[in-house]
Amino acid sequence: MTIKAVVFDAYGTLYDVQSVAAVTDEAFPGYGELITQIWRMKQLEYTWLRSLMGRYEDFSVITRQSLTFTLKALGLTFDEKAFERIMEKYVHLDLYPDAKEALAAMKDRKLAILSNGSTDMLNALVRNTGLDTILDATISIDTTKVFKPSPRTYDLIESNLSVKPHEVLFVSSNPFDACGAKAFGLNVAWIERVTPRAMATEFVKADLVRPLSMFKAIRMQMDEFGWEPDYRIGALADLPKLLAAHP
């Protein structure tokens, strides 16, 4: 296997979506973690529902709608200023600490993002975090009018980077995305940031399950579709060593 391009999911893979919690808790003290988890789950759910309904709206619209749902569902009142302050965090998400160093170590290959994010959101996020000087391409699914894990979205890798699926290593920490990419025919590395053993310790003798623990159980464990990733790694920092075996 010769890997010519490494393509990353953005949200949850290179960027820590949990980093919005500081902003949500500042706006709604005591509700930050709960807002963050419901918001992210509804955001993903809305991408899948809109894809099934054939009623595409870009990711910025979906992110707004899912945040609105979350605040209303929790009975929280909010003004436009607070709402926009929370939304602004999505173009200033925190990079995972090992992201830049890992990417820099792989510059001998084409590096790109393939994300559900809208073009404007992604470009702002990449620019604000300095990845614009490292990545060869930032690819939004906007042109397909459907969200991952639709096969049409993974087609964008070949059309943008001129590489065949077998020449691509796709990297995601989102199980649905890893499964979708594998079903499409890409080589896949899944970042398993939360192992089953770690999950077990979070639930043992827990009188009250934290919202973040529920999110880890629902959205960060490998799905049972039968499409296993080629590689399971613990962090982005593991990628350079993995690729060293495939010059």
Specify the number of domains making up the chain. 2
* Final residue in a domain of this structure, among 91, 119, 149: 91
| pLDDT tens, N- to C-terminus, the chain (247 residues) | 689 999 999 999 999 999 999 999 999 999 999 999 999 999 999 999 999 999 999 999 999 999 999 999 999 999 999 999 999 999 999 999 999 999 999 999 999 999 999 999 999 999 999 999 999 999 999 999 999 999 999 999 999 999 999 999 999 999 999 999 999 999 999 999 999 988 888 887 666 788 999 999 999 999 999 999 999 999 999 999 999 987 6
In terms of DSSP H, where are the helices of the chain? 21-27, 32-53, 59-73, 80-88, 99-104, 119-128, 151-161, 175-184, 196-203, 211-219, 239-244
Q: Are residues 35 and 109 in the same domain?
A: no
| Cis amide linkage into residue 165, ω under 30° from 0 | no
- Of all helices (H) and strands (E), which one includes residue 15? strand 15-16
The pair phi, psi for residue 193, each rounded to 5°, is -75, -20
Q: Are residues 85 and 103 in the same domain?
A: no
CATH assignment of the domain containing 74: 1.10.150.240
Per-residue pLDDT, 237: 98
Per-residue pLDDT, 204: 76
Per-residue pLDDT, 3: 95
Host domain of residue 41: 20-91
Helical pair 175-184 and 151-161, crossing angle rounded to 10 deg: 70
Q: Are residues 79 and 106 in the same domain?
A: no
26 near 32, Cβ under 8 Å?
yes
| Predicted TM-score of the model (pTM) | 0.95
Q: Are residues 139 and 63 in the same domain?
A: no
| Structure-block tokens of residue 27 | 């706006």
Q: 9, 16, 58, 142: which is the annotated catalytic residue? A: 9
Annotated active-site residue 25? The verdict is no
Amino acid at 151: P
Per-residue pLDDT, 209: 83
| Structure-block tokens of residue 176 | 């649905």
Say how many CA atoms lie within 13 Å of 232 toward its Cβ. 11
Q: Are residues 73 and 108 in the same domain?
A: no
Q: Are residues 82 and 30 in the same domain?
A: yes
